[in-house]
Amino acid sequence: MNDENNKEPQDKAVDEEVAREMEGVPEHLRDDGEAADEDKGLEEALAKLKGDLDSAMQDVLYARAETQNVRRRLEKDVQDARNYGATSFARDILSVADNLARALDHVPEELREHEKAKNFIAGIEATQRELEKVFGQNGITRIAAKGIPLDPNQHQAMMEVPTDEAEPGTIVQEMQAGYMIKDRLLRPAMVGVAKKPD
């Protein structure tokens, strides 16, 4: 009994000392069981935040890649607009080139010898050369036709011409010149294609 009485004051002194030490510790950390639960909750919250951060970083990478793709598409669209913006106008002006070529093709030889007509014809030829120069500066080129095999990507067969002078499928007549603008078809060449005679 005496031992028990001695023990109580010691326990009481220890309890008082522990109480003094715990005064600066927040309430939620004072109980070891509650502190362990709180640590577990903090670890779960931290893991969730890390997951959210990883997800957000992935979203940023996707957004950055998509932005770069959009920028590349826009650059290509701008380049195409520069290269092919005049396509409609070029198609319209081809009829002028056709008419100049027809006019020169139909000038009779005797008229070419006449002094006044020579100057007039030379003016039309100069205009045709200037038009061809402008076409070249804008990437508009004439499609080769006569004497080569038919290419359905550049030629439009209008008729078949029976002949032994050329291989079947070879272009033997050009009815209308075809043109490319850069690497795109502006207008197919309208042609006659050789076939074996019946």
Specify if 159 maps to a domain.
yes
Name which of 5-9, 107-111, 136-140 the model is least confident about.
5-9
Mean pLDDT (whole number) for 79-88: 85
Mean pLDDT of the chain: 85
Residue 145 lies in a domain: yes
pLDDT confidence tier of residue 119, bands split at 50, 70 and 90: confident
Note the pLDDT tens digit of each residue in 21-74. 656 555 555 555 555 677 788 888 889 999 999 999 999 999 999 999 999 999
Contact 104, 124 (CB under 8 A): yes
Which region holds residue 31: left if phi is over 0, alpha if psi is between -120 and 50, else beta?
A: beta
Q: Residues, the chain, total? A: 198
CATH number, domain with residue 150 = 2.30.22.10
Is residue 164 domain-resident?
Answer: yes
Summarize the confidence of residues 166-178 as an average pLDDT: 93
- Residue 124 in domain: no
In the predicted model, is pLDDT for residue 7 greater than 70? no
Per-residue pLDDT at 181: 93
Residues 148 and 150: their CA atoms lie apart, in Å, by 7
Spatial CB neighbours of 163, under 8 Å, sequence gap ≥ 6? 172, 194, 195, 197
Report yes or no on 191 lying in a domain. Answer: yes
Q: Determine, yes or no, domain membership for 63.
A: no
Averaged pLDDT, 151-177: 93
Whole domain around residue 157: which residue ranges? 140-198
pLDDT score recorded for residue 1:
47
Residue 179 in contact with residue 98, Cβ under 8 Å? no
